[in-house]
Structures are given as C-alpha cells and as structure tokens.
Amino acid sequence: MQNMSNVIQSIPLNHYIILSAIIFCIGIIGVLTRRNAIVIFMSVELMLNSVNLLLTVFSIYRNDAAGQVFVFFVMALAAAEVAVGLAIIVMIYRNTNTIDINVLNRLKW
Amino acid sequence: MSLFYFVAFLSVFFSLLVIFSKNPVHSVLYLILTFFTFTIHYFLLNAQFLGIVNFIVYMGAILVLFLYTLMLMNLNHDTEPLKSNLLKVIGVIAGGCLLVTLIASLKISGNSEIVVLKDPNLGLVKNLGNVLFHQFLLPFEVSSILLLSAMVGAVLLAKKES
C-alpha cells in the first residue's frame, strides 16, 4: 500500500477540485436535460459522489479523519434516500403508468 | 501521477455517457463504471475503507436497486420522450456557466499546494473505526434509526393499497 500512497504525492489540490466540479456540473446538466425520473435520480447520485470524493481529498489534505467519517454518513444517507425515492417512483409509475416528469405537474398551480 | 489523470479522464467520460445515453439501462451500466473509477480514486488516496464501502454499497447495493427497478417497470427500451432541443441547450449552458464560475473562482484563489498523505494510516479501517466509535458514536446510532425508518417507509410506499 505504501507505493500506492506515493502516487498522489505530486497532484495539486486544485486538480481534485476541478475534477469534482466537472462531475458535479455533469450531474446538474443531467438533471436539467433528462425527463426520465430514474435518470434524474442517477444524476443526483453522481453529484453526491463527486462531493464525497472532494470531502475525502480535503480530509487527507488536512490530515483529519472526521472528513472520511462524514463521507461514510453521506453514503448511509444516500442508501436510505435511494430506497425511499425508488419506492416513490414505483408508486408514481403504478398510478400514472409513466415516469416522465412532465406528467407530474399538478403541484404547479 | 499520470494514473490519476487517466482515471479522472475515465470518470468524466463515463459520467458524460451516463447522462447522454438514450437507453436507461445503459445509463445505469455506465454509472457503475463511473463509480468504479471513484473507487480507484479512493484507493489512490489510500482511503481503503471508503473505497471498499463505495464498492459494496454504491456498486453492489444502490445500482442493483436501480437496475432492478428499471427491469421491474420494463423500461429498458428507448421510449423516453425527449425534451425539446432548446431546453436541452439551455440546460447545458446553465451547467456550463456554473462550471466556469467555479473554475474561475478557483483560479482567482491562486495556486494550491500538493495533496500529501501525512499519515498513511488515516484511511484505514482501524483508525476510522476508532474515530467512528468514540467521537461519532451518537450520529452512528442515529443513522441506524434513519436506515430503519427508510426501510419501513419504502415498504409502506411500494405496497399495494388493498
């Protein structure tokens, strides 16, 4: 494992921030441009994961284990959120026979 | 060093494929590949516990749940009604504007230092377990209650009303 940790010795913090920002923005573009509810959900997962990666990098940069524990809690939360969200999507599909989000506009008024 | 840039390129590439592939099942499969590249990132940072948890929880549990729901609804065909091109372009421009803003503010803040692993034991299970069960014991227990309530809620929501 020692040789693996030498890999990161030469990467600036900025490059990790840029990578996470790019993936976060890809997630936002996915939420804005797709209409399938499950694909939108997957884009949200992508955004959560990019933030997780950045938290881990900051935790290593500051030499503080609390950041990684926080990432662990975010993962537990994401699991709960996915279970409830997919149950809601299944219920919507059973009632309207579609998961197109443009059908779900009754709260717009 | 170049390994990081290669893996970063792969994660950006696969995440682009996630949002631009027409078939939802292909999206889920590309998302699995994206999360695998994230696992490689965690291992490169020597955060072994998070790498394994990412591998098991995200790639093993969450994405199987996605795939299962897609197969259950029989949506594995390209019938998604597409948004109009104007809305798509507006969405891409909005996301691009956010990206430009983030990177520009990063540039203003100046050069950054190199990420150095000061303590190689930082991300190992032993160290994280010590922190988790001493400093964060109460949030850990509360998160178990959260998972229980989420499970009950999911079963209640997905159950057919009789």
pLDDT in tens, A34-60: 888 889 999 999 999 999 999 999 999
| A28 pLDDT higher than 70 | yes
How many C-beta atoms surround the C-beta of residue B136 within 10 A?
Answer: 19
pLDDT value of position A10 = 76
Domain at B2-123: CATH architecture? Up-down Bundle (1.20)
Contacts of A47 in chain B (CB under 8 A): none
A2 assigned to some structural domain: no
pLDDT value of position A108 = 65
CB pairs under 8 A between A and B: 250
| A5 pLDDT higher than 70 | no
A1 assigned to some structural domain: no
Assign B102 a pLDDT band (cuts: 50, 70, 90).
very high
- Interface membership of A104 toward B (CB under 8 Å): no
CA dihedral B146, B152, B24, A75 (to 10 degrees): 20
A109 assigned to some structural domain: no
The SS3 of residue B84 is coil
Assign B82 a pLDDT band (cuts: 50, 70, 90).
low
Q: Do B128 and A68 touch (CB under 8 A)?
A: yes
| pLDDT tens for each residue of B40-65 | 999 988 888 999 999 998 888 888 88
Nearest to A73 by CA among B36, B4, B138: B138
**Percent of the residues in chain B that have a pLDDT greater than 70, as a whole number:** 93
User: Which residue in A16, A41, A75 is closest to B57 by CB distance?
Assistant: A75
Q: Do B58 and A36 touch (CB under 8 A)?
A: no
| pLDDT tens for each residue of B14-43 | 999 999 888 888 999 999 999 999 999 999
Contacts of A11 in chain B (CB under 8 A): 1, 4, 114-115
The minimum CA-CA distance between A109 and chain B, rounded to whole Å, is 21
Q: What domain range is A63 assigned to?
A: 8-100
Q: How far apart are CA A49 and CA A78, in angstroms?
A: 10
Q: In chain B, what are the domain boundaries?
A: 2-123, 124-162
| B54 contacts B42 by C-beta, under 8 angstroms | yes
**Distant-in-sequence contacts of B146-149, Cβ < 8 A, 24+ apart:** B146/A76, B146/A77, B146/A80, B147/A76, B147/A79, B147/A80
| A4 pLDDT higher than 70 | no
Count of structural domains within chain A: 1
Interface of A with B in 64-93 (CB under 8 A): 65-66, 68-69, 71-73, 75-84, 86-91, 93
Q: The domain spanning residue A48 has which CATH number?
A: 1.10.287.3510
